[in-house]
């Protein structure tokens, strides 16, 4: 459905869809599944790879000769941009908020390993970081470069429009009723919701907030859904947001802060399925699955799938629960 939009392929094929048999048996539900976007060949994988296919496609059509991305040192996005730059042979500049530490670990270490140039911006707010990134891009252009600034959320969301179609093709005759994914900045969520509506998917999408209050999360996602419709020219037969459920029960103290239930979920799925979940983002989504199954909100005869969005390197900076 997106054939006319520029895309550079980074995925070798569909990511795995696996049944979580032991986990399901432990909670009395034999229809629990996982869509493994943590299993990709590029840079330890994660949801931003799908976004990068379209960011790089746009960069190519605009004549970009280098990639610029800004974020925190723990950013999965910065890691994967650096990895994509290494694979494609494109120079990458990463702008990190904060002061340079004595040693790099986790995602920042991998970013440097992939050959990206790193510039430290000092202690800056998210707004200031964005302003500085735009300033750096203008400086590069003044010196004859053609930088592409990573981050357009509508372009990013296109990757998960495709992912919804991919999942529908994988499930086949399985009557998948629920899909759970983390609720945060919005592109992954909006793309998947929009894509699901376009193909008439039968499942309910559960957004498990890991960052925002319900009204803010819904506003962000709904705005991106409308922008996707304008970008693609595709009008879904029904309102994409009509069947979306917002789950605020795993938010805890907010973004980047683990909860007792997220730690428990990380331990549960590690010991039952050998899954690796970082504890502040994707583990909250798995915690929601466990809670809803145990409480009967997801019935035993209703197959459910969690979208594992990756972020595994962040785990190495977290304490085991």
pLDDT tens digits, one per residue of 182-201:
999 999 999 999 999 999 99
In a domain, 115, yes or no: yes
CATH of the domain at 134: 3.40.50.1100
pLDDT tens digits, one per residue of 197-239:
999 999 999 999 999 999 999 999 999 999 999 999 999 999 9
In a domain, 275, yes or no: yes
Domain closes at, from 89, 121, 145: 145
Q: Are residues 23 and 100 in the same domain?
A: no
- Known catalytic residue: 196? no
Q: Are residues 243 and 266 in the same domain?
A: yes
- Catalytic residue (one of 51, 75, 196, 288): 75
CB-based burial of residue 229 (10 Å sphere; 0-12 exposed, 13-18 middle, 19+ buried)? middle
pTM, 2 dp: 0.95
Domain residues for 194?
A: 17-45+153-317
- Helix, strand and coil percent figures for the chain, each rounded to 5: 45, 15, 40
Residue 118 to residue 198: CA distance in whole angstroms = 40
Domain closes at, from 90, 113, 145: 145
Q: Are residues 167 and 223 in the same domain?
A: yes
In a domain, 53, yes or no: no
In a domain, 81, yes or no: yes
- For residue 43, report the phi and psi dihedrals to the nearest 5 degrees: 55, 35
Q: Are residues 191 and 289 in the same domain?
A: yes
Q: Which residue blocks in the chain are alpha helix, DSSP H?
A: 21-27, 48-61, 76-88, 106-113, 126-142, 153-171, 187-199, 214-232, 260-273, 282-295
Report the domain count for the chain.
2
Domain closes at, from 125, 145, 165: 145
In a domain, 6, yes or no: no
Contact indicator for 82, 115 with CB cutoff of 8 Å:
yes
In a domain, 52, yes or no: no
In a domain, 56, yes or no: no
Q: Are residues 270 and 296 in the same domain?
A: yes
User: Mean per-residue pLDDT for 35-62?
Assistant: 97
In a domain, 196, yes or no: yes
Residue 3: per-residue pLDDT: 87
Residue 295 to residue 243: CA distance in whole angstroms = 20
User: 17-35: buried (b, 16+ CB within 10 Å) or exposed (e) per residue?
Assistant: bbbbeebbebbebebbbbb
Per-residue pLDDT at 71 exceeds 90: yes
- Beta-carbon contacts of residue 39 (< 8 Å; ≥ 6 apart): 15, 16, 45
| Tokens 């302003």, residue located | 131
């Amino acid at each position: 459905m997106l054939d006319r939009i520029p895309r550079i392929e980074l995925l070798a094929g569909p990511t795995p869809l696996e049944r979580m048999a032991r986990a399901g048996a432990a909670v009395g539900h034999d229809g629990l599944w996982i869509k493994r976007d943590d299993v990709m060949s590029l840079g330890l994988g994660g949801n931003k790879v799908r976004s990068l296919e379209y960011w790089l496609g746009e960069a190519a059509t605009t004549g970009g000769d280098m990639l610029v991305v800004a974020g925190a040192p723990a950013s999965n996005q910065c890691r994967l941009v650096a990895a994509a730059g290494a694979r494609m042979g494109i120079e990458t500049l990463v702008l990190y908020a904060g002061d340079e530490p004595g040693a790099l670990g986790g995602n920042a270490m991998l970013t440097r390993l992939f050959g990206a140039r790193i510039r430290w911006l000092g202690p800056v707010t998210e707004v200031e970081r964005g302003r500085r990134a735009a300033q750096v891009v203008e400086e590069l252009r003044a010196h004859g470069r053609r930088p592409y600034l990573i981050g357009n959320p509508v372009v990013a969301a296109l990757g998960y429009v495709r992912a919804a179609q991919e999942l529908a093709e994988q499930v086949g005759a399985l009557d998948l009723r629920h899909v759970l994914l983390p609720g945060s900045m919005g592109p992954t969520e909006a793309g998947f919701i929009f894509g699901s509506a376009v193909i008439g998917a039968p499942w309910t999408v559960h957004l498990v907030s890991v960052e925002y209050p319900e009204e803010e999360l819904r506003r962000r996602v709904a705005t991106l859904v409308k922008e996707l419709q304008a970008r693609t020219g595709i009008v879904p037969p029904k309102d994409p947001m009509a069947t979306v459920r917002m789950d605020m029960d795993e938010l805890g103290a907010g973004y980047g802060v683990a909860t007792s239930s997220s730690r428990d979920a990380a331990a549960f799925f590690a010991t039952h399925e050998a899954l690796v979940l970082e504890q502040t983002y994707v583990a909250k989504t798995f915690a929601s699955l466990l809670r809803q199954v145990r409480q009967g909100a997801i019935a035993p005869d209703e197959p459910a799938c969690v979208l594992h969005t990756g972020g595994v390197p962040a785990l190495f900076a977290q304490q085991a629960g």
